[in-house]
Amino acid sequence: MTDFSALSLTDVLAGLEAKDFTAVELAEATVSAAEAAQPALNAFTVIDGARAVDMARASDARRAKGEAGVLDGAPIAIKDLFAVKGVTTTASSNILKGFEPTYESSVTQNLWDAGAVFFAKTSMDEFAMGSSNETANTGPVINPWRAEGSDENLVPGGSSGGSASALAAGISYGATGTDTGGSIRQPAAFTGLVGVKPTYGRCSRWGVVAFASSLDHPGPFAKTVKDSALLTQVMASHDPKDSTSYPGEVPNWVEAVGKSVKGLKIGVPKEYRMDGMPGEIETLWSKGAEWLRAAGAEVVDISLPMTKYALPAYYIIAPAEASSNLARYDGMRYGARVEGEDLIDTYEKTRAAGFGKEVQRRILIGTYVLSAGYYDAYYLKALKVRRKILEDFERAFAQVDAILTPTTPSAAFGIGSKAKADPIEMYLNDIFTVTANIAGVPAMSVPAGLDASGLPLGLQVITKALDEATMFTVAGAIEDAAGFKAKPKRWW
């Protein structure tokens, strides 16, 4: 029998086309693998074997008639932030416990229209607020990777940690995530996967539970750069239901993978060299630059002087938008309700019981920075700094075609290891990824090597708005040169 877990998305699509196996066989194997891994990894909030087999059967029928779509028969895991019609969707929060959408998110609709098979929803940090996937109401998600010789459970990163953990464990052939400050790229780096945050507006936010609307970017996780280009291409579309959806055409990004980087100018920003960053990340970064140089690109030093202000600006803007977006959870029309003495008391008790600690913390910060007397000092100031960060990128992209940085300042860390620390220590995980959310430019993480303890590390490629093609070309060149083939040793 085929070892499905080792196959990429491109592999399974070829296997289905060659009739090596059927979509039903693939779906059944995927569901079994998910069920077997769930007690150890806790990556899923829902596993729906019946729906998977139904969709796979329909896929086999389409393929038999020669009507297969570009993803036909491939199981794709869906982050619990995306509404899937008739499947419990909770954003890993108690306040949405049991919520069953009667509509489909545009991104998942695009996947099903291309023939993809639904089999599971994946766990996440509650409302996508976190970098470790420890705040889900269903408990922490475990990374399938472990340090050599250790049995300590590590975080998969967050907030899209369930998607990352599942795909890294060889369950599924692609997964959706959302990235508001790094929530696709950081977990991708922690689990040896490719993670893509396209340009703001490429993938519709319609039907995606809102966190910070001006920063939220749906995107895919994949095992290879080519797979990631294909998934991004399918997920992206113009959607009249999202007023910020980009109206232009979606290019063929798969064709961009494998193109030469010869003649491209790659910028290395000096501000991404942080104090206390492990030497091996610095070494990997230099190696990445060397790989691109050897492939014919020109590597130049650049400066993004506003980099250090991106994270503080983010922790004003994102909570402000979240406090406004999450005001809708009042226990009246959907979600959990805790009855109080009167209307206000009901609101207050509902929200105190329904939101977890980190979500409450961010709502309070957001409420404060938007409140009378503080709006100008915090929120307006952060929006002005945001423009200066965008201008940094605009200046850089007048000189270079792409920017190369590390994805994260460390490899995956232990479950609970930051529990006693200041919340800011957790926030610092996103220090290299958050700038691209602030500016809305495309960015992706590519697995590039292992650290001394055998844990994966990623490099990040950033390009100018709407130039995902160059991003996929550069990421493809890094993938080729890195030859990253490592997989987590199976213990689950």
Partner 1 sequence: MSVTKDDVRRIAALARIAEPADRLDALTDELNGILKWVEQLDEVDVGGVEPMTTAAPTVLPRRSDDVTDGGIRDDILKNAPKSEEGFFVVPKSVE
Q: Give the binding range for partner 1 (CB under 8 A) out of 25-33, 104-112, 219-227, 345-353.
A: 345-353
**Which residues make Cβ contacts (< 8 Å) with residue 104, sequence separation at least 6?**
83, 84, 85, 112, 207
Q: Which residues face 461 on adjacent strands?
A: 404, 444
Min dist. Cβ of residue 232 to partner 1 (A): 17
Residues 113-132 that bind partner 1 (CB under 8 A): none
The answer to whether 328 contacts partner 1 (rule: CB under 8 A) is no
Name which of residues 396 to 435 contact partner 1 (CB under 8 A): 422-424
The contact mask relative to partner 1 for 43-82 (x = CB under 8 A, - = no) is ----------------------------------------
Task: For residue 287, indicate whether it is catalytic.
Answer: no
Residue span binding partner 1 (CB under 8 A) among the ranges 104-112, 163-171, 374-382, 449-457:
374-382
Sign for the pseudo-dihedral over CA of 361, 367, 370, 371:
negative
Q: Which of residues 88-107 bind partner 1 (CB under 8 A)?
A: 98-100, 102-103
Tell which one of 381, 454, 481, 492 touches partner 1 (CB under 8 A): 381
Identify the residue among 384, 395, 489, 490 touching partner 1 (CB under 8 A): 384
Q: Is 180 in the site for partner 1 (CB under 8 A)?
A: no
By CB under 8 A, what part of segment 200-239 binds partner 1?
200-201, 214-215
183 is catalytic: yes
Q: Find the shortest distance in angstroms from Cβ 457 to partner 1.
A: 26
Considering only 57, 62, 265, 337, the residue that binds partner 1 (CB under 8 A) is 337
- Residue 347 C-beta: closest distance to partner 1, Å: 4
CB of 226 to partner 1, least distance (A): 27
Is residue 388 a contact point for partner 1 (CB under 8 A)?
A: yes
Q: Which of 59, 79, 92, 245 is catalytic?
A: 79
> Quick check: 331 binds partner 1 (CB under 8 A)?
yes
**Catalytic residue (choose from 59, 105, 106, 159):** 159
Site for partner 1 in 240-279 (CB under 8 A): 240, 243-244, 246-247
Within 8 A by CB and 6+ apart from 351, the residues are 95, 329, 330, 331, 360
Q: Is 79 a catalytic residue?
A: yes
Considering only the stretches 34-42, 118-126, 312-320, 470-478, report the one whose residues sit in contact with partner 1 under the rule CB under 8 A: 312-320
Among 80, 125, 126, 330, binds partner 1 (CB under 8 A): 330
Which residues, including other chains, have CB under 8 Å from residue 370's CB and lie 6 or more apart? 320, 323, 324, 379
* Residue of 49, 69, 258, 312 that binds partner 1 (CB under 8 A): 312
* Residue 364 burial (CB count, 10 A): 12
With binding defined as CB under 8 A, does residue 351 bind partner 1?
yes
Using left for φ > 0, alpha for ψ between -120 and 50, and beta otherwise, residue 192 falls in left
Residue type at 435 in one-letter notation: T
Which range of residues in 2-10, 35-43, 223-231, 325-333 is near partner 1 by CB under 8 A? Answer: 325-333
User: Which residues, other chains included, contact 485 with Cβ-Cβ below 8 Å and sequence gap of 6+?
Assistant: none
Select from 286, 303, 371, 399 the one that contacts partner 1 (CB under 8 A).
371
Please name the residue that has the structure tokens 């940090």: 125
Q: Between 330 and 401, whose beta carbon lies closer to partner 1?
A: 330
Question: Minimal CA–CA distance to 278: which of 435, 411, 456?
Answer: 411
Among 195, 335, 409, 456, which residue sits at the site for partner 1 (rule: CB under 8 A)? 335
* CB neighbour burial string for 66-93, b if at least 16 within 10 angstroms, e if fewer: eebbebbbbbbbbbbbbbbbebbbbbbb
- Judged by CB under 8 A, how many residues of this single chain contact partner 1? 74
Exactly one of 387, 395, 489, 490 binds partner 1 (CB under 8 A); that residue is 387
Q: Smallest Cα–Cα separation from 138: which of 127, 150, 148, 124?
A: 124
Instruction: Indicate which residues carry an active-site annotation.
Output: 79, 159, 183
